[in-house]
């Protein structure tokens, strides 16, 4: 298994360009099959999740043209085939083919294994939405058959503003008969990016980005061009790196107001940032003070940056508290950080962690437990004394396009061995 090797404590200078949002691209690509013609999506990150989705499209006989950060998809000859376990288990976002195939054909058969390191991650809210649109669902051992004679619009209240359920229900509803209202919908920017894509094809979606999304079904969706929004989690990861070890380091191609919660917290800790329209620049690290973080749905502090923020908090003087309210098991990276000299403790209910700083981090062998956990270790390795090797880097490469090249280009001593 390849590893990432980093020699820490090298200040980073220059500019890092952020790519397209993974959590938008992985919804846009399945959504593309709803179109009755060809669609082109630009600013697509070159990550393994996109490769895995491409495999599913090819399995369905869709035609793909993959360019540098671009994908052209035509579904004229698509076949509604069962998506087997090998294809669907590679990434959770394969579940968007449920909404897309149901929305296009009124039927979908696919395996979908639940759960992952950070939590159980059920899809009950997705399924509730499909049923309210008139679908019947049979499930045995992770194999789902979801079908509807005629999908009909309905009012759907989400018990939790789930990102995946909001998008999946939108995909199933855009061609349903009549009007659908999603109440307590998630408001993440990726949802707006998907709704804009569908509207560019001729769908009728209003209110994306608010808690109430109204969808009026249409019969036909025509071709369009669309662009993936910048990845706010990739941007936040590099902004935290800049705050820790940047010496005039600029993070560009970003939408700063998608990072409001992180920027507010970094300011609270004492980070000095120069903020532009589409970039943020850190001139040099300062002495930082501890703070408390509570993860919430957008626009609150994003759970996907919680683990990376934990690394930052090891360098903040005092006692920081992190409360994770979205997932039940998202502190696995702290045990690895402690191997590097961090002083962190997870409280009994596994929803709160205490981080004492400022602690010196020393390079050693560590293991990625999940995508963002792996990123938190990579950030720690960049500031640690000595050399760190990180195992299980497939997780990291899933979510960060060209991360080794981007960091090397600003002076990091990082390589894949
Ligand atoms: C998306 O996952 C992201 N993934 C996650 O990013 C992100 O952490 C999450 O949204 C929250 O922002 C993609 O977009 C591909 P949810 P998703 O449905 O849609 C519970 C990363 O690092 N829930 O908002 O699965 C669920 O168990 C990944 O890029 C139900 O109980 O998130 C979780 O505790 C990690 N029933 C919470 O809601 C459901 O039907 C949030 O889930 C659906 C979700």
Ligand 1 atom with the smallest distance to the CA of 92 is 15
Please say which residue of 196, 227, 258 terminates a domain: 227
Into how many domains does the chain fold?
Answer: 2
Note whether 270 and 326 are same-domain residues.
yes
- Report strand pairing: 246-252 vs 279-282: antiparallel
Provide the percentage of residues in the chain whose pLDDT is more than 70. Answer: 100
The pLDDT assigned to 262 comes to 98
Mean pLDDT of 393-405: 94
Nearest partner of 96 among 162, 169, 159, 182, judged by Cα: 169
Q: What are the phi and psi torsion angles at 389 (to 5°)?
A: -115, 135
Cα distance between residue 391 and residue 278, in whole Å: 33
**Does pLDDT of 379 surpass 90?**
yes
Instruction: Tell me: do 97 and 138 sit in the same domain.
Output: yes
The pLDDT assigned to 1 comes to 84
The per-residue pLDDT for range 52-81, each reduced to its tens digit, is 999 999 999 999 999 989 999 999 999 999
Measure 326 CA to ligand 1 centroid, in angstroms: 8
Protein residue with least CA distance to atom 10, ligand 1: 163
Is a pLDDT exceeding 90 seen at residue 115? no
Q: How far apart are CA 393 and CA 406, in angstroms?
A: 16
Judge whether 46 and 400 are in contact, CB under 8 Å: no
In short, whether 372's Cβ falls inside 6 Å of ligand 1 is yes
The predicted structure's pLDDT at residue 261: 98
pLDDT reported for residue 22: 97
Residues 334 and 399 in one domain: yes
Q: Check if 35 is active-site.
A: no
* 283 and 184 co-located in one domain: no
Give the Å distance between the CA of 23 and the centre of ligand 1: 10
pLDDT (tens digit, 9 = 90+) per residue, 301-320?
Answer: 999 999 999 999 999 999 99
Whole-number average pLDDT of the chain:
97
Q: Which domain holds residue 373?
A: 4-19+230-416
In sequence order, what are the residues at sequence separation of 6 or more whose Cβ sits closer than 8 angstroms to the Cβ of residue 96? 26, 27, 30, 31, 164, 167, 168, 171
Q: Which of 227, 249, 268 is the last residue of a domain?
A: 227
- 83 forms beta bridges with 110
pLDDT per residue as tens digits for the range 35-46:
999 999 999 999
What's the CATH code of the domain at 101?
A: 3.65.10.10
Q: What is the pLDDT of residues 337-352, one digit of tens each?
A: 999 999 999 998 899 9
Q: From atom 6 of ligand 1, which residue's Cα is the shortest distance away?
A: 304
Contacts of 150 (CB under 8 A, 6+ apart): 106, 134, 177
Residue 118 has pLDDT above 90, yes or no: no
Tell me, yes or no, whether 247 and 382 share the same domain: yes
Q: Cα dihedral sign for 111, 190, 392, 19?
A: positive
Is the predicted pLDDT of residue 372 greater than 90, yes or no?
yes
Q: Is 304 in the pocket of ligand 1 (CB under 6 A)?
A: yes
Mean pLDDT of 404-416: 98
Q: Do 53 and 14 share a domain, yes or no?
A: no
Atom of ligand 1 lying closest to residue 23 CA: 14
192 & 335 share domain: no
| CB contact at 8 A, 11 and 245 | yes
- pLDDT at res. 216: 98
What does the pLDDT look like over 242-259, one tens digit per residue? 999 999 999 999 999 999
Mutate to test the pocket of ligand 1, among 164, 373, 376 (most ligand atoms within 8 A of CB): 164
Q: What is the pLDDT of residue 114?
A: 75
Distance CA 192, CA 230 (A): 13
């Amino acid at each position: 298994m390849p590893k990432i090797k980093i020699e820490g404590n090298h200040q980073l200078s220059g500019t890092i360009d952020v790519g397209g949002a993974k959590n938008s691209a992985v919804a846009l690509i399945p959504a593309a099959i709803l179109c009755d013609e060809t669609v082109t999506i630009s600013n697509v990150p070159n990550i393994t999740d996109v490769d895995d989705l491409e495999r599913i499209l090819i399995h369905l006989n869709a035609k793909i043209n993959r360019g540098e950060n671009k994908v052209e998809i035509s579904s004229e000859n698509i076949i509604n085939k069962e998506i087997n376990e090998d294809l669907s288990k590679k990434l959770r976002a394969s579940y968007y083919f449920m909404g897309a195939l149901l929305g296009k054909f009124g039927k979908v058969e696919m395996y979908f294994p639940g759960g992952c390191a950070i939590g159980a991650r059920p899809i009950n809210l997705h399924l509730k939405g499909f049923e309210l649109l008139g679908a019947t669902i049979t499930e045995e051992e992770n194999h789902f058959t979801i079908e509807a004679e005629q999908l009909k619009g309905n009012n759907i209240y989400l018990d939790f503003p789930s990102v995946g359920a909001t998008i999946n229900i939108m995909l199933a509803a855009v061609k349903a008969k009549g009007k659908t209202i999603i109440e307590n919908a998630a408001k993440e920017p990726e949802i707006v990016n998907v709704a804009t894509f569908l509207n560019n094809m001729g769908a009728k979606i209003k209110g994306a980005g608010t808690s109430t999304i109204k969808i009026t079904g249409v019969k036909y969706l025509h071709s369009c061009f669309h662009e993936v929004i910048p990845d706010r989690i990739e941007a936040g990861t590099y902004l935290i790196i800049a705050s820790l070890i940047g010496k005039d380091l600029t993070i560009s191609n970003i939408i700063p107001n998608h990072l409001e919660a992180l920027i507010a917290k970094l300011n609270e800790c004492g980070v000095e940032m120069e903020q532009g329209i589409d970039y943020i620049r850190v001139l040099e690290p300062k002495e930082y003070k501890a703070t408390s973080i509570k993860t919430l749905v957008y626009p609150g502090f994003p759970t996907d940056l919680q683990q990376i923020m934990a690394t930052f908090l090891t360098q903040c003087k005092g006692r920081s508290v992190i409360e994770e309210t979205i997932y039940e098991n998202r502190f696995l990276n702290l045990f690895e950080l402690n191997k590097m000299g961090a002083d962190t403790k997870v409280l009994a209910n596994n929803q709160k962690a205490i981080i004492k700083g400022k602690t010196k981090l020393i390079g050693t062998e560590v293991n990625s437990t999940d995508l963002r956990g792996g990123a938190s270790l990579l950030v720690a390795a960049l500031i640690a004394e000595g050399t760190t090797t990180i195992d299980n880097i497939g997780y990291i490469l899933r979510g960060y396009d060209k991360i080794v090249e981007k960091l090397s280009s600003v002076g990091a001593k990082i390589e894949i061995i």
